[in-house]
Every structure is written in structure tokens, then in C-alpha cells.
Amino acid sequence: MRTILILIKKEFLQVFRNPLLISILVVAPLVQFVIFPFCADYEIKMLDIAFIDNDRSSISKDIINTFNSSGYFIPHGVLQSQSEAEEMMRHDKIDILIEIPARFEHDLYTGQPTQISSTANAINTVKAGIGTGYVQEVIGDYMRQFSERNKLPDQFGARNAEIKLSNVYWYNEQMNYKNLIVPGILVILVTLIGCYVTALNLVREKEIGTIEQVNVTPIRRWQFLIGKMIPFWILGMTEFIAGLFIMKIVFGITVQGSIPMLLGVTAIYLLVMLGLGFFISSVAENQLQAMFIVLFLFIVFVLLSGLFTPTEGMPDWAHKINYFNPMSFFMEVIKKVVLKGGDFLSVQKETIVLSVMAVVINTGAILSYRESSK
């Protein structure tokens, strides 16, 4: 016990005397945490929109009103001419131009084909694409209501089905990417501390030879590893809790589920990552090798974890790899507990899987760490 305590003390002394490590542990993550969510925001709001109304009927006015009140556009009014519209778009005053053709109302009621043209400023293709999606959605919505009111089922039914498809993709009032990205970054931070910092720390001792001095002592390998683990576990948990506060204060995201439960699962996840870090350090000869191994695993973990792309859309083999990806399980827990307020039952499976992973990988780490080599 005294041995482990002195090892923990030693580790903390070293961490706090290493300004570079301190900045890696504290400053870098926090900066990342505050900047990254704003950059990784896919949402586009407040598109500038203007109209040309060649019909001037009650329906065309109705449609324009629907756009203006949808909350997704900043209306710039009804323009008089095509040239005025072009001028505005050239100067980036508007992103989308909606043109309603003459005799629109008449054609609609008599069942003749007619079409509203939507022109998007495609300098920013993402903005244009999303904007067009919004336009389709608004018109589709309007048309659906219109056909219900006027009993015009067939012709518009088909079109509505098509528009519904785009609805899933683009138009989601609830969709706030920060809600997903911010907790995701928290996961990345915890992973980095758990895996990266510990792996580098242990390999560094190997490189500079201090581990040899420890290995000639009667210390047991599990004592040594626990003495390494506890300090980094504490650092990781501290970082996670600090992250939760920042999430609340800066982004206004409150944990919907139970916080003690969340911390419990995080503690287990950290053990997995610490074990993985130790395992890597026993395989790697030097810090460079350790860095490459961690980086490789890290990228695979992140890409498969469902942070940037939903796991549902991944092919079958990716799902199979994900069974071995602790980050994807933890990400699932975060999503469920932080965003959806899930209870323990909802994350039971993930917790069990992570626990098994923790046991397996730490046993592996202890076995592969040798004080005397062959």
C-alpha cells in the first residue's frame, strides 16, 4: 500500500513538473473543446431569401408567407425584376431566389403542370444544397396541406413522398450538432488521456532507462502498473468532470440522465483506455512507435465510433469491427445518458461490454509487462 502511494505521489510530482504535459493535459483539450464544436457545426440557419412573384394570386402570396414564417430564412421581400434579383445575388445579399410563374394558381386548380423555380447561390455548395432542401421541404409541406384542403390526391401524393425523403436528411428542427459534437469531444479527450498519455509515459521510462532501476527492485508488476494507473485515472476523471461543467456553462448542454451513473461508466471506460495504453507501451520500443500505434487505433476508433457519421449507415463489416471498439460503446452511452436521459437499463449492455474489455485488456497489460526479459 505504501509502495503504491509513493508511486502515485511520484507520478503526480512528475506530471506537475512537466509544463509540456500540463499544457497537453489541460490547455490543449480545453481550447479544442471550446473551438472545435463551432467548426464542426454542419447546421445552416438563416438563409437570405427573396421572391419574384409573377402570379400575384392568393396562393402565391400564401406560399411567400409560408417561407417567411418558417424560421429558416431571412426574407428580403418580393423583387420587381429578374435583373434586380441577379444583382442582389451577385452581391451576396441573397442566397436563394424563389420565382413563382404567371398563371400558377390557375394551373394548379386546373391540374396542369406548373413549377416554382428556386435558384441558389452555389458559391457555397453546402449552403446551396441545404437551402434547396429547405425550399423543397417548405413547398412540399405547403402542397400537402393544399391537396388535403382541395382533395387533389394523386398528382401531389407522389411528389410528397419524394419530398418526405429529403425531410429525413435536411430538415430537422431538433437537430443541433453541438449536442452531439460536444459530448463527442469529451469522449475524445478522455480517450487521449487514458491511452495516449499513459502509453507515452511508460515508454518514456523505458527509453530513458528509469524503468530498469525500478525493475531491479522487489516491486511487483501489478503494484507498478496500479501506481501508474491511479494518477492518470484521476487526471482523466478530473478532465471529464471539468468537461461536463464546460459543456453546461459554454454550450448549455445538461446531462439528461444520472450523473453518478455517467461517471461510473466513464471510470470503467478510462480503465479500458489505460490498459490499452499500457499494452501499447509494452509492445512499443520507443515513444515514436507508441505514438504511431495510438494514432492508428485512435483514428479507427473515432471514425467508427459514430461521432462524425452515424453507425447505422456503416456496412456490416464495420459493425463487426465496432464490437471491438470501446469508443463506440462509450459514445453510445454518452449519447443515451447525456442527450436522451437514458437510465442504467438502457446502457446495461454497453457497461457490461466495457467492463469485460477492461478486465481483458488490463490482464493482458500486466502479463505483457515483464520485469525480466527473455
Partner 1 sequence: MYSIVADQLTKQFGTFTAVDHISFQVKRGEIFGFLGANGAGKTTAIKMMSGLLLPTSGTATIAGYDILTQSKLIKKHIGYMSQRFSLYNDLTVFENMQLFGTIYKIPRKELKDRIYESLRSLDMEKQSGTLVSSIPLGWKQKLAFATAILHHPDIVFLDEPTSGVDPIVRREFWKLIYQTASQGVTILVTTHYMDEAEYCNRISIMSDGQMKLIGTPSELKEQMGVNSVDEVFVKFVNR
Does residue 143 contact residue 154 with C-beta atoms inside 8 Å?
no
In the 8-state DSSP scheme, what is residue 103? T
Nearby residues of 170 by Cβ (< 8 Å), 6 or more positions away: 130, 133, 134, 137
* Least gap, CB of 215 to partner 1 (angstroms): 6
Q: Kindly state whether residue 23 participates in binding partner 1, applying the rule CB under 8 A.
A: no
Farthest-apart Cα atoms in the chain, separation: 94
3-class state of residue 310 by DSSP = coil
User: Which of 80, 82, 210, 309 is in the footprint of partner 1 by CB under 8 A?
Assistant: 210
Cβ–Cβ < 8 Å for 95, 131:
yes
In the bound state with partner 1, the residue whose beta carbon lies nearer, of 172 and 217, is 217
Nearer to partner 1, 127 or 206 (CB): 206
User: Which residues pair with residue 96 across a beta bridge?
Assistant: 49, 120
Cα(first)–Cα(last) distance of the chain, in Å?
29
CB of 217 to partner 1, least distance (A): 5
Which one of the spans 67-75, 155-163, 217-225, 316-324 is the region binding partner 1 (CB under 8 A)? 217-225
Q: Tell which one of 126, 175, 214, 299 touches partner 1 (CB under 8 A).
A: 214
Site string for partner 1, 314-353 (x = CB under 8 A): ----------------------------------------
- Dig out the grid coordinates for 371 from the structure: 520485469
Q: Which is nearer to partner 1, 217 or 363 (CB)?
A: 217
List 39, 216, 249, 345, residue binding partner 1 (CB under 8 A): 216
Is residue 286 near partner 1 by the rule CB under 8 A? Answer: no
Question: What would the grid cell of residue 374 be?
Answer: 527473455
What angle, rounded to 10 degrees, do the helices at 221-251 and 259-283 form? 130
Distance (Å, whole) CA 192 – CA 261: 22
- Interface positions, 142-201, toward partner 1 (CB under 8 A): none
Q: Considering only residues 110, 154, 173, 209, which one is a binding residue for partner 1 as defined by CB under 8 A?
A: 209
Please identify, among the stretches 106-114, 216-224, 309-317, 338-346, the one whose residues bind partner 1 according to the rule CB under 8 A: 216-224
- What phi and psi values does residue 52 have, to the nearest 5 degrees? -120, 120
Q: How far is the CB of 208 from partner 1 (least distance, A)?
A: 7
> Judged by CB under 8 A, which of 39, 208, 249, 345 binds partner 1?
208
Contact between 3 and partner 1 per CB under 8 A: yes
Provide the mask over 353-372, with x wherever binding to partner 1 is found by CB under 8 A and - wherever it is not.
------------------xx
Residue 193 near residue 238 (C-beta atoms within 8 A) = no
Residue 117 in the binding site for partner 1 (CB under 8 A): no
- The answer to whether 126 touches 159, Cβ cutoff 8 Å, is no
Helix (H, G, I), strand (E, B) or coil at 52: strand
Count of residues for the chain?
374
* 313 counts as binding partner 1 under rule CB under 8 A: no
3-class DSSP state of 26: helix
Say whether residue 22 binds partner 1 (CB under 8 A).
no
Site for partner 1, rule CB under 8 A: 2-3, 6-7, 10, 13-14, 17-18, 208-210, 212-219, 371-374
